């Protein structure tokens, strides 16, 4: 019996496309170039880890993708949108709907409850009708396992719980891209593992994840590792242009 | 309906910063209260003084003639353009109060029941007064020290002293208070006038013109037309007086004073708003990270701006809710107080709607406007920059100034740290300095202007070298006067001047004087003085004083200069002497406080009037050093004149003139003191808030210092040193700021004197403010610094 023909996999759409991106900062000590001619493509649904030493440009790279910072030169397209063309106001609006961001130090607003922190992006973006926002927030908190902490203030939660809350907030507007900058850097190993499990779950659901991390374990979870050194993507990593 | 999370955050932020929010609320509420009080009082007084004056049906013009006979009155009532005409008289008399003869005006009314012009109202007692008695104005009770049922000894120019019973009390809102003018007011019939030794003649025609009674041009024209017609009928016309239509005699002064305070109060509100901006700037600095988070999750700059703008609007609304009602109540009380002082009645303390509109607008918008730059800057913070802020470090060192500070050596480390820390956040430093300097500058200005007012009042005594001034009923040969006074011991010097009421005159025309019926406001005298007089030394504002050989030179006071405008120094003018125009050249302008006239040489006056060797105005200087001795000599001089048959129309000891001037400034001075206290309060609150915020922000930094071995004493020195340095710098800027402010306010406040207040900077205020800011800065720095230094190092390092 003849074997069925193997159909070649259709190329994935790109979630992130960077071309010759340079980022230079003016510092007290003089000019500092954080990224040197970085070209990078990340397909939709990829789970990418960005690794490198301190000062290698990892966070800068993430900031570029998130639209938090602008390149000195080069082009960036994320989720089909060319970020160079957007004003600050348009970037904020775009970011609220297309990008979910999680930070190392959680960055929850201290005067809002956990549920309110999750609702906040929905209020800014007006992505859901008002009466749907809190139920959605509770559902997201359930998904990350802290629904019972919904009406507590962040200061009363543990680090791991706060980070889960931050993840729920990042998912509030259902963004296609999820970014995390050292999400486990402030957590113990057990909690870090739980957080990485959440990320794995998200990746499995089709969200594009880009994680800046020092965690060695994450290399086994992701499908791609981008190594940065001195602001350059290293050629001997499975990074650069997608196959 | 649940609140959007943005508003929840905004409300909870207020709670989180409640100490600072409370300080801002208090400062704003105080500012709004102050402005509400002043603006409300201004609105009430402006309305009520006009209403009061209008209710008296003031005459458009008063024509002084030889006698208003019934036929003259009847013909004037038929004159085209005259709506109402009445005959009256005003006699300048004197009343005995204690041992002194005080000035008194007797208003003679033919028909008390039929008054239609310059109406006054019965308060109590008889109406009309029986023959031989009088009614007195209610404010004169205290001045004359006699009321209804009592008596006063009155002497008219041609009569002997007579005891006149007081049959009742009236309220005449057209008159300035008796205590302020140092003049009593009585109301009598013609019969009583005759019993006092004066001919029972009414010599004033008071008319109301038809048509626009507010038109000075119309009134002037009609009054001149009527006066000319009367002259044509052979009737002697002495003067035509047209006061500013619809304007109470003191209206200009009262409103000018209120406007001065309004300016100061408005600045107090601005100061409060600057305080809000400064503290908000500090709060926003601590909110940078949260702003970054919000922007990271999709907030636009405009949305962030709206949140903090709403916070300020809420603060403004809360401050308005407290400050405005309190200010409304206070404004009513202040207006009532002013009315009582100025002798008019407040019929309603309702504040005009435009006042509310201004207050609400200012209260809501002022904090927003001053804080707008901080809000815009904060809301435009980049996400990257915001999330990188950790509270220690910063960009210090990047600029040449920073490096210059770094190169400073030879000082102890705590001092160097304090100096460099001050300049780490230059924007905040500028805002703090602006706030403190504004508060200090305004405080010093308020006190300096108060001192200027006192200095102005003191001109009464410093510019005059005589102890009493007698105005005689008619010109008397100088020799006779000197002979009469020769026997009075204790007199050091006497000068006899010519003196006559005058007006701007034009040949062949009847000229108009801007005088009120009280014969005080708006009038001026032409005085013939020896050019080398030793009795007065008025400061020369422009041009020069009279020279020895001047014949046709005239020196004016600012009050008179305004009346002859647009004439100026170097121009020629005509002034009337007993109805005859005489020509003079303006050679100078002098500042005369407590009076106002036109000064010519006695030789020039004699030549122009044809009256050589006579005088009517005696200036008398005693050799006494004590006031009681001085008073004794003045009374003796008055008795000697009386015994010599020389009629005294008015005697004015210098002390009484000074008292009258002090009376004019008493109310504004008290208001200035109140304003300065409020400004000190706002300034002090602002300083304490700013310094506390600065220290709290540095908690983590202090933790770092302690972690590397700094003792609490060193930390205290650095923090308190910084606070004290900022306070000192602000004091210096405040002092510089107070210079132009004092000058400007002095110009505004000097309106009642016709000249700007003397430029005086209060040393006491400057030293007092320095002491206040240093103490507050030290205390406001030390308390949080001590608290921070007591935190466990780990807690301090984790502080956000």
Q: In angstroms, what CA-CA distances link B576 with B513, B521, B530?
A: 10, 18, 20
Q: What is the pLDDT of residues B768-800, one digit of tens each?
A: 999 988 888 888 888 877 777 676 666 666 655
With CB atoms and an 8 Å threshold, state whether A124 touches B395: no
Task: Provide the 10 A C-beta neighbour count for residue B232.
Answer: 8
Q: Which of B61-70, B250-259, B607-616, B620-629 has the lowest mean pLDDT?
A: B250-259
Q: Which residue has the higher pLDDT, B427 or B49?
A: B49
* Average pLDDT over all residues of chain A: 86
Does residue B651 have a pLDDT over 80? Answer: yes
Beta carbons within 8 Å of B623's beta carbon, 6+ residues apart: B490, B491, B492, B633
Mean pLDDT over B538-552 rounds to: 93
What is the rounded distance in angstroms from the CA atom of residue B38 to the CA atom of residue B479?
A: 56
Nearest to A95, CA basis, from B295, B386, B5? B295
CA quadruple B781, B787, B790, B791: dihedral positive or negative?
A: negative
Instruction: Tell whether B289 is within 8 A of chain A (Cβ).
Output: yes
Q: pLDDT, tens digit, for every residue of B663-686?
A: 777 767 777 777 777 777 777 777
Does pLDDT of B638 surpass 80? Answer: yes
Contact B6 A123 (CB under 8 A): yes
**pLDDT of A9 over the 60 cut:** no
**Token pair recorded at residue B231:** 């002259």
**Residue B412, pLDDT score:** 67
CA distances B671 to B254, B337, B665, B675, Å, are: 12, 12, 10, 6
Q: Residue A239 has what pLDDT?
A: 42
pLDDT digits (tens, 9 = 90+) for B241-263: 898 898 887 787 778 778 877 88
Q: Which residue of B has its CA nearest to A114?
A: B5
Q: Please, which residues bridge with residue B540 across strands?
A: B590
As a whole number of angstroms, the distance between CA B387 and CA B380 comes to 13
- Burial of residue A45 (CB within 10 Å: 0-12, 13-18, 19+) is middle
Residues of chain B with C-beta less than 8 angstroms from the C-beta of A172:
297
CA A101 to chain centre: 5
Structure tokens at B9: 């955050």
pLDDT of residue B390: 43
List, for residues B466-475, the tens digit of each pLDDT value: 999 999 988 9
Of B2, B5, B384, the CB nearest to A120: B5
pLDDT at B681: 77
> What value does the mean pLDDT take over residues A25-52?
88
CA–CA gap between residue A169 and residue B665 (Å, rounded): 67
Token pair recorded at residue B194: 């005759």
Higher pLDDT, B426 or B409: B426
pLDDT level of residue A242 (50, 70, 90 thresholds): very low
pLDDT, position B392: 41
Minimal CA separation from A241 to chain B, in Å: 27
- The pLDDT tens digits for A57-105 are 898 999 899 988 889 999 999 998 999 988 888 888 898 899 999 988 8
Give kind and range of the element (H or E) at residue A178. Answer: strand A177-181
Six-digit token pair at B141? 């009770």
Set of chain B residues whose Cβ sits within 8 Å of the Cβ of A88: 300-301, 380
DSSP, res B394? -
Angle at B319 between CA B314 and CA B324, to 5 degrees: 130
Phi, psi angles (nearest 5°) of residue B484: -65, -35
The number of beta carbons lying within 10 Å of the beta carbon of residue B479 is 11
Q: Least CA distance to B383: which residue of chain A? A: A68
**Cα B409 to Cα B478: distance, rounded to the nearest angstrom:** 80
Continuous segment of H or E residues that includes residue B679 = helix B654-697
Chain A hits for B16, CB-CB cut-off 8 Å, are 111
Residue in chain B closest to A116 (alpha carbons) equals B5
Q: CA–CA distance from B396 to each of A29, A128, B536 (Å)?
A: 11, 45, 64
The per-residue pLDDT for B214 is 87
Partners of A63 on chain B (C-beta within 8 Å) are: 383-384
H or E element that contains B734 = helix B712-749
The residues on A that touch B, with CB distances below 8 Å, are 28, 63, 66, 68-69, 88-89, 92-93, 95-97, 101, 103, 107-112, 116-117, 119-121, 123-125, 130, 134, 169-170, 172-173
Higher pLDDT, A110 or B105: B105
Question: Is the complex ipTM more than 0.95?
Answer: no
Say whether A112 and B294 touch across the interface (CB within 8 A): no
Cis, peptide link before residue A134, omega less than 30° from 0: no
Q: Which residue of A has its CA nearest to B290?
A: A109
Pick from B564, B598, B798: which is nearest to B701 by CA?
Answer: B798
From the candidates B4, B5, B283, which should be mutated to test the interface with A, based on the most A CB atoms within 10 A? B5
Residue B544's Cβ-count burial label (10 Å; 0-12, 13-18, 19+) is middle
d(CA A99, CA B369): 35
Average pLDDT for chain B:
85
Kindly indicate the confidence band of residue B206, based on its pLDDT and cuts at 50, 70 and 90. very high
Q: What percent of chain A has pLDDT over 90?
A: 45
Helix (H) or strand (E) holding B137: strand B134-137
Pairing of strands A208-212, A47-52: parallel
Instruction: Classify B108 as helix, strand or coil.
Output: strand
Q: What DSSP line would sit under B332-360, residue for residue? A: HHHHHHHHHHHT---S--PPPHHHHHHHH
Q: What integer is the mean pLDDT of B486-497?
A: 94
B289–A103 C-beta distance less than 8 A: no
Is the Cβ pair A124, B383 closer than 8 Å? no
- Which position has the token pair 């009134």? B219
Antiparallel, parallel or unpaired: β B82-97 and B100-109:
antiparallel
Percentage of chain B beyond pLDDT 90 is 40
- In this structure, what DSSP letter does residue B3 have? P
Return the residue matching tokens 């028909």.
B111
| Residue showing tokens 């000229």 | B511
B732 or B423: which leads in pLDDT: B732
Pick A89's closest partner by Cβ from B290, B294, B301. Answer: B301
pLDDT at B38 over 90: no
Residues on chain B touching A110 (C-beta within 8 angstroms):
290
Please, what is the end-to-end C-alpha distance for chain B in angstroms?
Answer: 33
Q: Contact, A100 vs A170, CB < 8 A?
A: yes
Give CA–CA dist A201/A144, Å, rounded. Answer: 10
* CB atoms B8 and A28 under 8 Å: no
Which residues, at least 6 apart from B102, have a Cβ–Cβ distance to it below 8 Å? B94, B95, B96, B143, B144, B182, B183, B184, B656
Confidence band of A7 (pLDDT split at 50, 70, 90):
low
B566-569 CB contacts, 8 Å cutoff, 24+ apart? B569/B542, B569/B543
Distance from C-alpha of A146 to C-alpha of B269, rounded to nearest angstrom: 49
A115-174, pLDDT tens digit by residue?
999 999 999 888 899 999 999 999 999 999 999 999 999 989 999 999 999 999 999 999
Strand order across the A30-43 sheet: A30-43, A14-27, A73-78, A81-82
Per residue in B323-382, pLDDT tens? 999 999 999 998 998 888 788 889 999 998 998 999 899 889 888 888 898 889 888 887
| Distance of alpha carbon B334 from alpha carbon B328, whole angstroms | 10
B310-324, B541-555, B652-666, range with the lowest pLDDT: B652-666
B384 touches chain A (CB under 8 A): yes
Judge whether B755 and B558 are in contact, CB under 8 Å: yes
A contact test, residue of B296, B383, B395 with most A CBs within 10 A: B296
Provide CB contacts within 8 A for A4, sequence distance 6+.
Answer: none
Residue B12 with chain A: CB contacts under 8 Å: 111-112
pLDDT value for B384 = 75
Residue A243: per-residue pLDDT: 30
Which of B87-91, B160-164, B256-260, B368-372 has the weakest average pLDDT? B256-260
A 10 A CB-CB count for B323 gives: 28
CB atoms within 10 A of CB A216: 8
Q: How far apart are CA B426 and CA B410, in angstroms?
A: 24
Across the interface, which of A101, A119, A125 has its CB nearest the CB of B296?
A101
Residue B660 has, within 13 A of its CA and on its CB side, a CA count of: 22
- Which of A28, A88, A93 minimises the CB distance to B398? A28
The predicted structure's pLDDT at residue B391: 42
A111–B298 C-beta distance less than 8 A: no
Contacts of A9 (CB under 8 A, 6+ apart): none
B180-195 average pLDDT score? 92
Cα gap B747→B342, rounded to integer Å: 23
User: Could you identify the residue written with the tokens 């009582």?
Assistant: B340
Q: How far is CA B194 from CA B133, B186, B191, B705, in A?
A: 12, 15, 5, 95
> Using the beta-carbon criterion (under 8 Å), do A89 and B6 form an inter-chain contact?
no
Closest Cα in chain B, distance from residue A205 (Å): 21
For residue B796, the model assigns a pLDDT of 62
Residue of A95, A98, A124 best to disrupt the B interface, most CBs of B under 10 A: A124
């Amino acid at each position: 019996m003849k074997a069925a023909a193997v159909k070649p996999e259709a190329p994935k759409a790109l979630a992130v496309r960077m071309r010759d991106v340079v980022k230079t900062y003016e510092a007290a000590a003089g000019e500092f170039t954080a990224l040197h001619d970085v070209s990078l493509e990340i397909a939709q649904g990829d789970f990418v880890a960005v690794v490198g030493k301190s000062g290698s440009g990892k966070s800068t790279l993430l900031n570029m993708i998130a639209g938090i910072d602008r390149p000195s030169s080069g082009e960036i397209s994320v989720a089909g949108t060319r970020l160079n063309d957007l004003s600050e106001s348009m970037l904020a609006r775009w970011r609220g709907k297309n990008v979910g961001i999680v930070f190392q130090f959680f960055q929850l607003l201290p005067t809002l409850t956990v549920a309110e922190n999750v609702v906040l992006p929905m209020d800014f973006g007006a992505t859901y009708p008002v009466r749907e926002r809190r139920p959605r927030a509770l559902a997201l908190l359930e998904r990350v396992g802290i629904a019972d902490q919904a009406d507590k203030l962040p200061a009363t939660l543990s680090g791991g719980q706060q980070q889960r809350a931050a993840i729920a907030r990042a998912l509030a507007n259902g963004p296609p891209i999820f970014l995390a900058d050292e999400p486990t850097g402030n957590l113990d190993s057990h909690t870090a593992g739980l957080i990485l499990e959440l990320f794995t779950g998200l990746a499995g659901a089709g969200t594009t994840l880009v994680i800046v991390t020092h965690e060695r374990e994450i290399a086994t979870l992701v499908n791609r590792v981008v190594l940065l050194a001195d602001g350059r993507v290293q050629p001997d990593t499975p990074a650069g242009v997608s196959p | 309906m649940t609140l959007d999370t943005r508003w929840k955050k905004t409300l909870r932020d207020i709670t989180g910063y409640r100490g600072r929010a409370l300080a801002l609320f208090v400062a704003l509420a105080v500012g709004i209260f102050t402005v509400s009080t002043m603006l409300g009082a201004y609105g009430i007084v402006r309305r009520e003084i006009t209403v009061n004056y209008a209710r008296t049906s003031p005459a458009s013009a008063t024509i002084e003639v030889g006698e208003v006979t019934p036929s003259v009155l009847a013909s004037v009532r038929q004159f085209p353009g005259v709506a109402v005409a009445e005959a009256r008289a005003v006699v300048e008399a004197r009343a005995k109060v204690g041992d002194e003869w005080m000035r008194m005006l007797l208003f003679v009314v033919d028909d008390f029941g039929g008054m239609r012009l310059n109406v006054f109202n019965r308060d109590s007692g008889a109406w009309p007064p029986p023959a031989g008695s009088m009614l007195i104005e209610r404010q004169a009770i205290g001045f004359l020290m006699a009321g209804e049922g009592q008596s006063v000894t009155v002497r008219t120019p041609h009569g002997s002293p007579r005891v006149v019973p007081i049959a009742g009390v009236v309220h005449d809102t057209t008159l300035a208070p008796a205590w302020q003018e140092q003049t009593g007011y009585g109301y009598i019939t013609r019969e009583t006038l005759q019993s006092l030794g004066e001919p029972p003649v009414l010599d004033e025609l008071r008319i109301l013109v038809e048509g626009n009674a507010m038109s000075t041009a119309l009134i002037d024209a009609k009054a001149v037309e009527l006066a000319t017609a009367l002259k044509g009928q052979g009737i002697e016309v002495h003067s035509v007086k047209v006061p500013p239509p619809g304007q109470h005699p003191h209206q200009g002064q009262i409103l000018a004073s209120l406007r001065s305070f309004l300016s100061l109060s408005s600045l107090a509100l601005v100061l409060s708003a600057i305080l809000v901006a400064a503290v908000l700037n500090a709060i926003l600095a601590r909110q940078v990270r949260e702003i970054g988070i919000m922007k990271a999750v999709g907030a636009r700059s405009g949305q962030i701006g709206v949140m903090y703008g709403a916070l300020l609007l809420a603060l403004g609304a809360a401050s308005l809710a407290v400050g405005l009602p309190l200010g409304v109540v206070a404004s009513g009380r202040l207006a009532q107080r002013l009315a009582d002082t100025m002798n008019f009645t407040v019929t309603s303390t309702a504040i005009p709607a435009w006042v509310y509109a201004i207050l609400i607008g200012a209260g809501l918008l002022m904090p927003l406007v001053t804080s707008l730059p901080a809000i815009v800057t904060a809301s435009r913070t980049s996400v990257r920059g915001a999330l990188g802020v950790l509270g220690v470090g910063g960009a210090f060192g990047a600029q040449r100034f920073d490096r210059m500070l770094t190169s400073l050596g030879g000082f102890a480390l705590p001092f160097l740290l304090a100096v460099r820390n001050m300049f780490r956040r230059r924007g905040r430093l500028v805002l703090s300095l602006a706030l403190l300097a504004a508060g200090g500058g305004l405080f010093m200005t308020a006190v300096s202007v108060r001192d200027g007012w006192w200095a102005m009042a003191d001109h009464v005594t410093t510019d005059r070298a005589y102890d009493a001034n007698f105005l005689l009923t008619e010109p008397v040969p100088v020799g006779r006067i000197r002979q009469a006074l020769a026997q009075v011991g204790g007199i050091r010097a006497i000068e006899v001047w010519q003196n006559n009421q005058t007006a701007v005159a034009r040949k062949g025309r009847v000229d108009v004087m801007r005088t009120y019926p009280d014969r005080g406001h708006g009038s001026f005298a032409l005085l013939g003085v020896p050019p080398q007089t030793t009795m007065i030394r008025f400061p020369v504002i422009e041009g020069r004083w009279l020279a020895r050989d001047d014949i046709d030179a005239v020196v004016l006071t600012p009050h008179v200069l305004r009346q002859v405008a647009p004439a100026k120094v170097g121009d020629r003018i005509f002034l009337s002497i007993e109805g005859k125009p005489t020509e003079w050249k303006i050679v100078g302008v002098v500042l005369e406080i407590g009076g106002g006239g036109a000064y010519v040489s006695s030789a020039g006056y004699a030549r122009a009037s044809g009256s050589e060797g006579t005088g009517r105005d005696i200036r008398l200087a005693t050799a006494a050093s004590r006031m009681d001795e001085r008073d004794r000599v003045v009374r003796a001089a008055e008795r000697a004149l009386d015994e010599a048959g020389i009629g005294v129309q008015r005697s004015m000891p210098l002390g009484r003139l000074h008292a009258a001037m002090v009376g004019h400034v008493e109310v504004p001075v008290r208001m200035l003191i109140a304003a300065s206290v409020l400004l000190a309060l706002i300034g002090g609150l602002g300083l304490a808030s700013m310094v506390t915020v600065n220290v709290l922000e540095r908690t983590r930094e202090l933790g770092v210092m302690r972690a590397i071995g700094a003792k609490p004493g060193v930390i205290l020195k650095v923090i308190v040193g910084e606070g004290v340095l900022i306070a000192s710098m602000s004091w210096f800027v405040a002092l510089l700021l107070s210079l132009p402010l004092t000058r400007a306010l002095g110009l505004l406040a000097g309106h009642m004197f016709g000249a700007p207040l003397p430029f005086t900077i209060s040393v006491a205020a400057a030293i007092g403010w320095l002491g206040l800011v240093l103490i507050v800065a030290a205390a406001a720095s030390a308390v949080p610094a001590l608290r921070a230094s007591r935190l466990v190092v780990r807690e301090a390092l984790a502080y956000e």
